[in-house]
Amino acid sequence: VEAEHFAVQMQTENRRWYLTTATPAFAGVSLSPRKRGPDVSPDGDESHEGTASSKAYLEVLPDTRRTHSDKLVQGENFSNEPGKMAVLVYPVHFNTPGRYYVWVRAYSTGSEDNGLHVGIDGTWPESGQRLQWCEGKHSWWWESKQRTQKEHCGEPHKIYLDIEQPGLHTIEFSMREDGFEFDKWLMTKDRDFARPADAGPS
């Protein structure tokens, strides 16, 4: 699922998701793409739409904490509590109930732009909290690891949502750290799903 295909965005008082994309200057005219990014500051890194799926992605801005030396402000540039800041909602119809592992394609350039939460139907189970990226810096990278006390870079097989009943549900993502860049996400019942080397399933 393309990150920019969300249905609604909520909890945007302090941070929100902004779209960056490359589009022709005029519809129907063959011109070189030009970057259309958010006019929001601070945003400490360059655009990465050129290598994003569909040449578009979302980023939580403004980005005021990029390194450990930058001040951490709970409820402003960091939220360890899911569902409180910059929430994206995606309606999804499930034919088959069961446990689904969640993978996200993200771009991280530092140590403080690599955390996200995922929930379902307005709830935020422990198994969806603290998605973490340490590998694949400065590239779009699929990951499905949970930050824990034991392993700050994340443990595999711990990010999942349990679908109790078939039918329509809402999958939600919320900010953990500002500056997070979000390209795509997927869900699979395969616990040993292999990380895609490219943009992944369409």
b/e map 94-117, b = 16+ CB within 10 Å: beeeeebbbbbbbbbbbebbbbbb
Residue 162 clears pLDDT 70, i.e. is over it: yes
Distances (CA, A) of 141 to 44, 158, 164, 167: 19, 18, 29, 30
Tell me: pLDDT of 67 over 60.
yes
| Whole-number pLDDT of residue 94 | 98
Q: Half-sphere exposure of 124 toward its Cβ, with a 13 Å CA cutoff?
A: 20
What is the pTM for the complete model shown?
0.91
Task: Average the pLDDT over 27-40 and give the result.
Answer: 48
Q: Are strands 87-94 and 167-175 parallel, antiparallel or unpaired?
A: antiparallel
> What is the model's pLDDT at position 37?
63
The bridge status of strand 131-132 relative to strand 167-175 is: unpaired
Q: Is 151 exposed, middle or buried (0-12, 13-18, 19+ CB in 10 A)?
A: middle
Whether 60 shows a pLDDT value over 90: the answer reads: yes
Tell me the pLDDT band of 14, cut-offs 50, 70 and 90. very high
Pair of tokens at residue 84: 């409180």
CA distances from 164 to 70, 110, 172 (A): 41, 37, 16
Task: Give me the chain's average pLDDT, please.
Answer: 91
Domain annotation for the chain: domains and CATH numbers: 3-188 (2.60.120.260)
